[in-house]
Amino acid sequence: MTVEELSKILGLDIVAGRNGLNRQVENGYCGDLLSDVMGNAPSGCIWLTIQSHQNIVAVAMLREMAAIVIAGGFGPDKETKEKADQEGIPLLAWSDSAYDLAGKIYNLGVGGEKNNKG
């Protein structure tokens, strides 16, 4: 499923990075601690977070993510939107909790990467 298809099904607001909407969503990841996300988020994921600063775009590029969703009614600033547009990283917004959105995404068949730790 593409980022655009997922955003239409779930009613996610596209706030930046429209030229990356054709990226394939392969799995999902939730997290707000950037060091955790940098070390553990799988490539091709849709990342759910409440972080909204420019660094999220850099992390998404580093991990080759499909898209970022800022949940909880938080929104990105102008600089973050500009960076997402420049890099072609879709930046989406969701007004409710990341927990609820993760469940909806999972129910659409987008699973999380298996955790092989311990």
Structural domain contains residue 114 = no
Look at the pTM and tell me if it is higher than 0.95.
Answer: no
Q: 49 to each of 1, 67, 97, 117, how far by Cα in Å?
A: 20, 11, 10, 22
Tens of pLDDT along 50-99? 999 999 999 999 999 999 999 999 999 999 999 999 999 999 999 999 99
Tens of pLDDT along 35-60? 999 999 999 999 999 999 999 999 99
Cβ within 8 Å of residue 116, ≥6 positions away:
none
Structural domain contains residue 115 = no
Assign 93 to helix, strand or coil: strand
pLDDT of 111 reads 81
Structural domain contains residue 39 = yes
Structural domain contains residue 44 = yes
CATH code: domain of residue 53: 3.40.1390.20
Mean pLDDT of 13-21: 97
Tokens standing for 27?
Answer: 């799995």
Give the gyration radius of the chain's Cα atoms: 13
Q: Which residue range(s) make up the domain with 92?
A: 3-107
Structural domain contains residue 58 = yes
Structural domain contains residue 113 = no
Structural domain contains residue 99 = yes
Structural domain count of the chain: 1
Structural domain contains residue 55 = yes
CB 67 within 8 A of CB 46: yes
